[in-house]
Amino acid sequence: MTSRLSYNLAARWLAAFLAMACILLSLGMSHALGADPQAEIETALSGVDERTWEQVATNEGARDTRYDSNYSLINASGETWRQIRNRWVSTFGVIAIVGMALMILGFYLYFGSKKLEAPRTGRRLLRWTVFERTLHWSTATTFILLALTGLNLMYGKFVFKPLFGDGFWAPMIAGTKLLHNYLGPLFGILLIIILAKWLKVNLPRAHDLEWFKKGGGLIGKGHVDAGFANAGEKAWYWLLASAGLLVIISGLVLDFPIFGQTRDGMQWANVIHAVGALGLTAVALGHIYIGTVGTEGSLEAMTTGYVDETWAKEHHNLWYDEVKEHTTLPEHVDKGSFDEAASHRPN
């Protein structure tokens, strides 16, 4: 009963997250593509005419005298960055995230969620300790908040400002920016702990290639071999270890502009940060789907810490062979059996 309630709750949260992301991205892009830069300039700088800009461009006008800057007030580099961000990066985000959401929906409608083929035995195996589950949910919650605030920073201006006006938009975007900037370093710390904690079980093995060839068991007959982490989970791990760390580093460059970064460097850090974060958000949707409504028993594992023996056999048979001697009946899942099982589980 508990697992069914968790399953339904996860399905509702996933659907709500997908709907919010798709609406925000779609509306944001439609408004962004129809935005008039000249109108924005005239609103922000009334009284500035063409002659004024000619003077600035030819260095007759004021120059930017901030640290390590040789730009006039018309910054060609900044305009290039703006074009890359608004025309290419934001478009990439819509294609990646909305495209992934549609792929997940199509996959679910065609295949449905993956159910266990054999009945549950009632014997359970420890898969995640309390510390590991706390670490996972803390990192996941921080990631989702960063994704939503990041989407708001990229697209929210074109959705919420026209709908609710400046009185709502100003404090909202200020709070969004504050939350995003402070959660970023925290996410970096949590991610480094996760990468160090699960490095050993995510090292590539020969059977991982066969897992990819068979699409995790969707192509052909029979189960595919998998240890504690299957090849799909390992791919997600190494994506976080590469693109994830790149997003964190570029985010720190933007968060702390006090170490001699030039504006050109900040602009490139912004592009790298946005592309990496949008790509990770898109892939994370697949990870969330598989770990919740996509695979029976996966969410149960990360909420209770235990998996049924049948689940272990069908999804992680090589790991099951290592720990099958330590199955536990539900009535014996207490502090003592938990510690005993943990001592036999690979780190």
pLDDT tens column, 189-221: 999 999 999 999 999 999 999 999 888 777 666
pLDDT, one tens digit per residue, over 45-86 is 556 677 766 766 665 555 555 545 555 566 677 888 989 999
pLDDT reported for residue 22: 59
pLDDT, one tens digit per residue, over 109-129 is 988 888 888 999 999 999 999
Q: 188 vs 265, which has greater pLDDT? A: 188
pLDDT reported for residue 254: 94
Q: What is the mean pLDDT of the chain?
A: 82
pLDDT reported for residue 260: 83
The predicted model gives 95-117 an average pLDDT of 92
Question: Would you say residue 9 has pLDDT above 70?
Answer: no
Q: Range(s) for CATH 1.20.950.20 in the chain?
A: 2-31+76-344
- The CATH superfamily of 2-31+76-344 is Transmembrane di-heme cytochromes, Chain C (1.20.950.20)
pLDDT reported for residue 341: 46
> What tokens does 152 get?
């708001």
Q: Exposed (0-12), middle (13-18) or buried (19+): which is 84, by Cβ within 10 Å?
A: middle
Give the Å distances, CA to CA, from 177 to 100, 188, 230. Answer: 26, 17, 37
The predicted model gives 307-325 an average pLDDT of 92
pLDDT reported for residue 224: 87
pLDDT reported for residue 342: 46
Instruction: Express as a percent the part of the chain with pLDDT over 70.
Output: 72
Lowest mean pLDDT across 23-32, 193-202, 237-246, 265-274 = 23-32
pLDDT reported for residue 138: 97
pLDDT reported for residue 335: 47
Question: What's the predicted TM-score (pTM) here?
Answer: 0.77
pLDDT reported for residue 233: 95
pLDDT reported for residue 337: 45
pLDDT reported for residue 344: 43
pLDDT reported for residue 60: 55
Lowest mean pLDDT across 8-22, 123-137, 190-204, 223-237 = 8-22
Q: Which residues pair with 124 in a beta bridge?
A: 308, 328
pLDDT, one tens digit per residue, over 279-305 is 999 999 999 999 998 889 999 999 999
Cα–Cα distance measured from residue 15 to residue 18, given in angstroms and rounded to the nearest whole number: 5
Give 87-94's long-range contacts (Cβ < 8 A, gap of 24+).
Answer: 89/154, 89/271, 89/274, 89/275, 89/278, 90/28, 90/29, 90/32, 90/154, 90/155, 91/29, 92/275, 92/278, 93/25, 93/151, 93/154, 93/155, 93/274, 93/278, 93/281, 94/25, 94/26, 94/28, 94/29
Give the Å distances, CA to CA, from 103 to 7, 110, 277, 341. Answer: 21, 10, 19, 38
Question: Would you say residue 146 has pLDDT above 70?
Answer: yes
Backbone angles phi, psi at 267, to 5 degrees: -65, -45
Question: Would you say residue 319 has pLDDT above 70?
Answer: yes
CB atoms within 10 A of CB 39: 9
Give the burial string for 43-57 (b: 16+ CB within 10 Å, else e).
eeeeeeeeeeeeebe
The predicted model gives 314-341 an average pLDDT of 71
Would you place residue 105 in the very low, low, confident or very high pLDDT band (cuts 50, 70, 90)? Answer: very high
Highest mean pLDDT among 8-17, 24-33, 34-43, 295-304: 295-304
Lowest mean pLDDT across 29-33, 122-126, 165-169, 202-206 = 29-33
